[in-house]
């Protein structure tokens, strides 16, 4: 059982033409301190049977198909995080492919994104019940799709989605963490979260939360807009200003994804680092 909310549109404006293509790339790295990689990422044209995972770069035509991108950051000890993020990707993409979203209205696409995350959560919970050593596993999920000229994003946890529009970067998701809850409630100042024990604890996880609160955002996209999906292994060590500069400096999504991972590694990368970068072309 889940519920979802719709966040305000961060880029209000006229609707663009719907016909487009997507230039996209994905990268992941274990980081400098972790022994394994619990992140997973994927993108796909749902009109075909092919999905791409890092390292990958391709030009996809979402019509007559439908483009989706996904980043998951697993957690849960032992191999639990790796299993949870893998199960999420393996559940969400086939679910959306079966939903036949090509040309579907935005509302239907949004409902399908939420339902696919619910299905992934149920599958992870079934796996945890079958194998008690995995009882604590779960994963974040930041899932995006193109619909009617806009980006629809469904999010659980603290993996993020950004949009670079006319050179300006905006985070279009809101971290589901204790730190963000305290900041949004006015309990702490923006820079005070790091001083609180447990402030980085996530409040929602696919497979680990009995009742999911899936946050939905709707963002109209224009020609040349760049979308970034990433785990907190990137956003936690590379400031937004540096992310924006990297995206501006590298028009090619493959080069941008590689440069972003390199920046995280240069900053010490204590966690796994994963990103999907795509640019809309009309």
The confidence band for 179, taking pLDDT boundaries of 50, 70 and 90, is low
Mean pLDDT along residues 188-213 = 70
Q: Is the pLDDT of residue 68 over 90?
A: yes
With pLDDT > 70 as the criterion, what percentage of the chain qualifies?
A: 82
Instruction: Tell me if 158 sits within 8 A of 177, measured CB to CB.
Output: yes
Domain count, the chain: 1
Mean pLDDT along residues 104-111 = 92
Lowest mean pLDDT among 12-26, 125-139, 163-177: 12-26
**Confidence at residue 20, expressed as pLDDT on a 0 to 100 scale:** 66
**Confidence at residue 279, expressed as pLDDT on a 0 to 100 scale:** 93
| Packing angle, helices 106-130 and 80-98, rounded to 10 | 140
User: Using CA of residue 59, residue 119, residue 90, residue 49, what is the dihedral sign?
Assistant: negative
From CA 263, how far away is CA 61, in angstroms rounded?
A: 30
Instruction: Tell me if 156 sits within 8 A of 216, measured CB to CB.
Output: no
Instruction: Tell me if 138 sits within 8 A of 208, measured CB to CB.
Output: yes
CA distances from 281 to 9, 20, 66, 88, 277 (A): 21, 6, 15, 29, 13
From CA 148, how far away is CA 126, in angstroms rounded?
A: 35
Which range of residues forms the domain containing residue 65? 2-281
Top-confidence residue, 39 or 16:
39
Instruction: Output the six-digit token pair for 82.
Output: 């790796």
> Strand 273-281 relative to strand 168-171: parallel, antiparallel, unpaired?
unpaired
Instruction: Tell me if 224 sits within 8 A of 279, measured CB to CB.
Output: yes
Cβ neighbours around 12 below 10 Å, total: 8
Instruction: Output the six-digit token pair for 278.
Output: 């795509």
Lowest mean pLDDT among 92-101, 169-178, 232-241, 255-264: 169-178
Q: Is the pLDDT of residue 15 over 50?
A: no
**Confidence at residue 14, expressed as pLDDT on a 0 to 100 scale:** 45
The pTM is what? 0.87
**Confidence at residue 168, expressed as pLDDT on a 0 to 100 scale:** 96
> Strand 160-165 relative to strand 51-52: parallel, antiparallel, unpaired?
unpaired
From CA 70, how far away is CA 33, in angstroms rounded?
A: 24
What confidence tens digit (pLDDT) does each residue in 202-258 have? 788 999 877 888 999 999 999 999 999 999 999 999 999 999 999 999 999 999 999
The confidence band for 87, taking pLDDT boundaries of 50, 70 and 90, is very high
Instruction: Output the six-digit token pair for 92.
Output: 């969400």
**Confidence at residue 255, expressed as pLDDT on a 0 to 100 scale:** 97
CATH code for the domain of 82: 3.60.40.10
Instruction: Output the six-digit token pair for 27.
Output: 């990268």
How wide is the angle at C-alpha 80 spanned by C-alphas 78 and 83, nearest 5°? 130
Q: Is the pLDDT of residue 155 over 60?
A: yes
């Amino acid at each position: 059982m889940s519920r979802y909310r719709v966040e305000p549109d961060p880029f209000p404006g006229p609707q663009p033409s719907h016909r487009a293509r997507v230039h996209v790339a994905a990268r992941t790295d274990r980081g400098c301190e972790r022994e394994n990689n619990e992140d997973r990422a994927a993108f796909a044209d749902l009109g075909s049977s092919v999905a791409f995972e890092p390292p990958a770069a391709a030009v996809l035509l979402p019509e007559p198909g439908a483009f989706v991108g996904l980043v998951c950051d697993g957690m849960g000890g032992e191999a639990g995080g790796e299993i949870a993020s893998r199960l999420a990707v393996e559940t969400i993409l086939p679910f959306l492919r079966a939903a036949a979203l090509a040309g579907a209205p935005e509302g239907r696409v949004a409902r399908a994104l939420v339902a696919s995350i619910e299905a992934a959560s149920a599958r992870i919970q079934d796996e945890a019940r079958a194998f008690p050593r995995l009882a604590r596993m779960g994963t974040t999920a930041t899932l995006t799709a193109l619909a009617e000229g806009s980006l629809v994003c469904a999010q659980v946890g603290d993996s993020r989605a950004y949009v670079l529009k006319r050179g300006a970067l905006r985070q279009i998701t809101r971290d589901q963490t204790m730190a963000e809850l305290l900041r949004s409630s006015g309990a702490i100042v923006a820079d005070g979260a790091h001083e609180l024990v447990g402030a980085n604890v996530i409040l929602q996880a696919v497979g680990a939360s009995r009742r999911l609160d899936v946050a939905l955002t709707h963002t109209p996209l224009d020609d040349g807009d760049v979308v970034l999906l990433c785990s907190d292994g990137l956003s936690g060590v590379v400031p937004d200003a540096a992310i924006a500069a990297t995206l501006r400096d590298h028009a090619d999504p493959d080069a941008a994804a590689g440069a972003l991972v390199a920046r995280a590694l240069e900053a010490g990368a204590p966690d796994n680092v994963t990103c999907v970068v795509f640019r809309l072309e009309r």
